[in-house]
């Protein structure tokens, strides 16, 4: 996708898992990457890796639940590279939750703030920058939000706050896509199923046959989603080939949502 070369992408939650894979993929396509996360040491390491391969990359420590830090993050991206073409709002948390009648308000607020309000805050400042910086109305600008297949239905593996937040991300994506469709800004989402990350590997402490059986019960392929596949889907959403895709969510789940 040579069309993404020299474009500027801002990625939250960029130092591990899906975010890191996306930063690596976009930099390999020639994009300029602004990576954000709450882990400065990992951010420095990521930027060093990207620049060693000839990429242009920056890092800014950011807690996406903090309004002022999000504002500073977007301003930093613009100050470093002069524009903002794409954003992948990927940061979020997943934590064990009790059932609703045992839930604490503090847990609800923390999970929803990290997974839904943060998307609202990021888009607020990203869109403002995209609108104010565009000197060419034909230049597409794209936001991709990381939702989840749990944003499509309930799950025994999830909790009420996470499930509600991820449903909210998909609804928020659709509404903002409609609101800015005539401003040449497209807004879409991706919904990964269970994904192979360092955190997932640490939880798969079982014989391979047992792991395969668990996965087969989730989706027809019997496999975890690979982070590189998600990164490539985000890149496709940002490419001219996806110019008529707006306000949509793509599940990457091996057919899990299609299976009863």
Contacts with 101 (C-beta within 8 Å, 6 or more apart), sequence order = none
Tokens 């950011």 belong to residue: 62
Q: List the catalytic residue out of 76, 120, 125, 162.
A: 162
Give the Cα separation of 120 and 145 in Å (integer).
10
Is 120 an annotated catalytic residue?
no
156 close to 225: Cβ distance less than 8 angstroms:
no
Rg (CA), the chain: 18
Distance between first and last Cα of the chain: 36
Q: Return the structure tokens found at 199.
A: 């955190």
- Cβ proximity of 128 and 77 under 8 Å: no
Query: Catalytic residues, which ones?
Result: 162
């Amino acid at each position: 996708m040579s069309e993404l070369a020299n474009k500027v992408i801002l990625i939250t939650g960029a130092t591990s898992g899906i975010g890191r894979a996306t930063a690596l993929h976009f930099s390999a396509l020639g994009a300029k990457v602004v990576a954000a996360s709450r882990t400065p040491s990992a951010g420095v390491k990521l930027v060093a890796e990207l620049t060693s391969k000839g990429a242009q990359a920056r890092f800014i420590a950011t807690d996406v639940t903090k309004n002022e830090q999000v504002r500073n993050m977007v301003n930093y991206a613009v100050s470093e590279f002069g524009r903002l073409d794409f954003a992948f709002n990927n940061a979020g948390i997943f934590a064990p939750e009790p059932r609703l009648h045992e839930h604490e308000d503090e847990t609800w607020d923390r999970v929803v703030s990290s997974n839904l309000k943060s998307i609202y805050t990021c888009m607020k400042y990203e869109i403002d920058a995209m609108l104010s910086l565009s000197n060419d109305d034909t230049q597409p600008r794209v936001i991709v939000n990381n939702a989840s297949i749990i944003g499509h239905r309930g799950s025994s593996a999830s909790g009420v706050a996470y499930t509600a937040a991820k449903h909210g991300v998909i609804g928020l994506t659709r509404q903002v896509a409609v609101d800015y469709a005539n401003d040449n800004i497209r807004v879409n989402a991706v919904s990964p199923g269970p994904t192979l990350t360092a955190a997932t590997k640490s939880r798969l402490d079982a014989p391979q046959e047992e792991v395969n059986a668990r996965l087969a019960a989730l989706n027809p392929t019997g496999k975890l989603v690979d982070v590189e596949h998600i990164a490539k889907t985000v890149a496709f959403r940002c490419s001219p080939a996806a110019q008529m895709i707006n306000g949509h969510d793509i599940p990457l789940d091996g057919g899990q949502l299609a299976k009863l």
